[in-house]
Structure 1
Amino acid sequence: MQKLLSIVLMFLAVGMSAQTALYNSGNLRIHENGTLGFHTDLINEAPFDTNLGLAGFYGTDALRVSGSVVPLFHDVEIMVENGLNLNLGIDNANNTNFILGDINTPKNLNDIYYNFLDSDGFYIGEGDLTKVNGFAAIANQQNFVFPVGDGTFLRAVTLSSERTTLFAKCAYFFEDPSAPLSLNGSYDTNELGRELERVNAVEFWKLESDVAATINLSWNTRSNMGILTDDTNTIVLAGWSKTNIRWENLGASSVVGDLEEGFLTSLPFVPNDYDIIGLGVSKIPFEPLAKEVLSLDNYFVSPNGDGINDFLFIPELEESPNNLVRIYDRYGLKVFEKPNYRDEFSGIPNVDNLVVQKDQGLPAGVYFYTVFMKDLNLNYQGFLYLTNK
């Protein structure tokens, strides 16, 4: 019976593809192992929340989800070349597979969002062409990487909460915070607390959560960090205080990278205390950044089995067997960590994470690495380029 109903639902979706929208007024359900493919808009006006199979959105033209009742899907697949536009939110109970195209939500309406539910909600396939361009949310999760960005770049935020948060939400804005186009209000980048020198005037994030947390926040060449500072150790997280009505220095526990590309790890703060957050420059480096950080060479790793550069080899570690190596992607997501490192990294992640699949190799690209030589009390950082060729 389950298989029969799944087939009926598939024909329903295909049969409606030539019309303007599929209108759900009730009685739709995706059973286990069933698939419902949307090749047209979805107007959802009835509960659509007992689904166990796959809801896929496919096509070259933009598709739209609207209506009055938020649908709850088990697995979701996005392959819409010109994007899936949400006029109504979507709840995802299990996996979202980004294949092609963004999920777009109105950035001026933060009550419409793509919601990853509970501890089972996760995703794969995120990238510059496959992300949430708007608001992404989580429910009942403690640690999560929000796959948010704009129409050009993924600008993910890694949230590490002190405990499980009932609800959190995030969006990225490539806009001047002093005169944002998408939000009501102004967050004047000249209104600064006494410990803050400057605030980035080209981009910001809106992050909501009532649980204290640390975050990882990245920058790229478009962030123009070189205009703000010539010293990465002065880069900090900045937040627009709801209480003091100004930008305040929220500090940073570490900064990795250079002025072209890098990320920071923040000190603990409560996101709901701040309207928006962004990158800033401290007048005085915080104590965690006062320690000297040296640079090693940039490395090339090509784990193709030819015996050349198949593993990350750092010659300096031969002088310091008591060490700790960490590797991060360009969004600040930790993908590898190994104490007493001995040339083990070959492009395979070893960190428990809902986004990275540990049984698959990491995508080609630039990664950051940090090295702490414990016996020498030295800290190093650098870049590596990973390729499978």
Structure 2
Amino acid sequence: MKRKNINIRKDLLYVSMCCMVTYSLSAQENITVNKGGLYIKPNTVIATYFDFSNKGTGNVINDGEFYFYGDYNNEGLFSFTTNQRTGYVVFEGSNKTIQSISGDSPSMFYDVLFNKAGGAYSFDLTNDISSQGKVNLLNGVVLMNKEQGGAFIFLKGATHINTSDKSHVDGEVSKQGNDNFRYPIGNGGYYRYAQISAPAAEADHYTGEYFLKNSNPLYPHTNKAPGIELIDTQEYWAVEQKENTQGSVLLTLSWDERTTPSALLANEAKDLRIVRWDASQNLWVNEGGIINRADKTVTTPAVVNGFGIFTLAKLTPDMDTPTEIVIYNGVTPNGDGSNDYFIIDNIQRYPNNSVRIYNRWGREIFKTTNYDSNGNVFRGYSENSANFKDGEKLPTGTYYYILEYEYTDAETPRMIKKSGFLHLEND
């Protein structure tokens, strides 16, 4: 009699069976098969060394720990008990060069660990998997094969740890929920994240993917708005808003001297910005950007309707910074006559202007046109915002501004866009 391929690593394994549902494990042809109902209780650990197949009639509820050392295929139900936080799945693939994670039915995990050293990638993902807890990308690159049905979804509250060049997702990653999120994405052996601030709604859904390749063949760099001097020729990102998602978020892209052209980082990256391919205009447009040299990031308040293809670019020096405009980014509305409102010196010279201010979650809290023309200045209260009541006092903290104004140079008008941090002390 052949030995069943199941290793009980603690003393409890509870198999739930009811009515005509059956549960079976088979070591024939080096495969572990589940055809019925399997419930793994908390504090129970099981493992399968051979390939695992959860058939269409299979129903696995994992509130314990399940280790997979061979390939994984799910055609039935694989999930955990709602509100239970003990479910843990481990993919180690010790007997495979590349561990396959496949199947036509979605798999829902709470915590999951990927731990397998390999070559270009260690895991081939063609299953739709999601996590509500912690994704530990300890070792091995996950190739997310979207064309063959793969999906890697982080649900509300889900996070990832240990992400690096040797452990990330090569392909599209989805994020659902109203959390800040840094996409654990990369390509070509490099971890090159993009990040979004918290969306407005829990149901909001954004995807992110990184490409270590020149965007020029698909999105010609000769088609660019005035002021864009040089576009990244080695990498780009796709950050998309999925159906039924509305609102806006802050978008952050990172730079890395190993992948980002050195010409873009000249002058301490002062002229580095985020640019977006505008499909309606067939043109690269400047989305602005706030430089954080310590983190090697550029952040811009990005309008959701403008999501799609992004990359980094260098602006023509001083193209977006006429010297007569001076912005004071500290606001202390305490009535002492100093910085009681958001001061933009000489903005009155350019009445065709707009000012928008966002909180740290990317939600617009103030907007106006023809700034400082009739007392319409930002004093630490919301105004003309769909997210807050007019006149609502805003908390102390860091905000972001976008200033756009029409500037005429040698009788040629053009729109200037500036963005940056704004600190509010609102006692």
TM category, shorter:
0.5 to 0.7
Deviation at 1:265, TM superposition (A): 1.7
Deviation at 1:254, TM superposition (A): 2.7
Q: Does 1:279 align with 2:316?
A: no
Code of the residue aligned with 1:78 in structure 2: it is F
CA gap of 1:131–1:373, structure 2 versus 1, over 3 A, is same
CA gap of 1:230–1:110, structure 2 versus 1, over 3 A, is farther
Structure 2 equivalent of residue 329 of structure 1: none
Structure 2 equivalent of residue 39 of structure 1: 69
Gaps in structure 1 of 5+ consecutive residues:
180-185, 293-371, 375-389
Q: Of 14, 21, 27, which aligns to 1:5?
A: 14
What pairs up with 1:143-292 in 2 under 5 angstroms? 143-161=180-198, 163-164=200-201, 166-179=204-217, 186-209=218-241, 210-228=246-264, 230-231=266-267, 232-256=269-293, 262-270=296-304, 272-283=305-316, 284=318, 286=320
Structure 1 equivalent of residue 368 of structure 2: none
Deviations 1:252-282 (A, max 9, x none): 123425xxx8221223332x52431000112
Code of the residue aligned with 1:45 in structure 2: it is E
Q: Distance in 2 between matches of 1:288 and 1:54?
A: 56
Q: What secondary structure is seen at the aligned counterpart in 2 of 1:163? A: coil
Deviation at 1:56, TM superposition (A): 0.9
Q: Distance in 2 between matches of 1:256 and 1:244?
A: 32
Q: How many residues align?
A: 281
Q: Of 39, 49, 53, which aligns to 1:22?
A: 53
Q: What secondary structure is seen at the aligned counterpart in 2 of 1:227? A: helix
Code of the residue aligned with 2:215 in structure 1: it is P
Tell me if the contact between 1:65 and 1:86 (Cα under 8 Å) persists in the aligned partners.
yes
Q: Of 134, 152, 158, which aligns to 1:95?
A: 134
Structure 2 equivalent of residue 385 of structure 1: none
CA gap of 1:50–1:262, structure 2 versus 1, over 3 A, is closer
Tell me if the contact between 2:89 and 2:112 (Cα under 8 Å) persists in the aligned partners.
yes
Structure 1 equivalent of residue 171 of structure 2: 134
Q: Distance in 2 between matches of 1:94 and 1:47?
A: 18
Q: Distance in 2 between matches of 1:167 and 1:100?
A: 27
Of 81-90 and 47-56, the range deviating more from structure 2: 47-56
Deviation at 1:12, TM superposition (A): 7.6
Larger radius of gyration: 2
Q: What secondary structure is seen at the aligned counterpart in 2 of 1:206? A: strand
Deviation at 1:126, TM superposition (A): 1.1
CA gap of 1:213–1:286, structure 2 versus 1, over 3 A, is farther
Structure 1 equivalent of residue 340 of structure 2: none
Deviation at 1:169, TM superposition (A): 0.6
Deviation at 1:150, TM superposition (A): 1.4
Deviations 1:235-258 (A, max 9, x none): 00011012211111111123425x
Q: TM-score, normalised by structure 1?
A: 0.64
Code of the residue aligned with 2:181 in structure 1: it is F
Structure 2 equivalent of residue 124 of structure 1: 161
Deviations 1:266-299 (A, max 9, x none): 23332x524310001122454599989xxxxxxx
Structure 1: 4+ residue segments shifted above 3 A: 6-9, 11-21, 109-112, 284-292
Q: Does 1:57 align with 2:91?
A: yes
Deviation at 1:89, TM superposition (A): 2.0
Q: Distance in 1 between matches of 2:178 and 2:53?
A: 32
CA gap of 1:24–1:95, structure 2 versus 1, over 3 A, is farther
CA gap of 1:193–1:45, structure 2 versus 1, over 3 A, is same
Deviation at 1:230, TM superposition (A): 2.5
Structure with higher RCO (Cα < 8 A, 6+ apart)? 1
Q: Distance in 1 between matches of 2:148 and 2:225?
A: 28
Q: Distance in 1 between matches of 2:114 and 2:104?
A: 22
Q: What secondary structure is seen at the aligned counterpart in 1 of 2:13? A: helix
Structure 2 equivalent of residue 86 of structure 1: 125
Code of the residue aligned with 2:313 in structure 1: it is G
Q: Does 1:75 align with 2:111?
A: yes
Q: Distance in 2 between matches of 1:282 and 1:201?
A: 15
Write 1 or 2 for the structure with the bigger share of helix. Answer: 1
Gaps in structure 2 of 5+ consecutive residues:
1-10, 18-22, 33-47, 328-421
Tell me if the contact between 1:233 and 1:285 (Cα under 8 Å) persists in the aligned partners.
no
Q: What secondary structure is seen at the aligned counterpart in 2 of 1:91? A: strand
CA gap of 1:159–1:6, structure 2 versus 1, over 3 A, is farther
CA gap of 1:44–1:153, structure 2 versus 1, over 3 A, is same
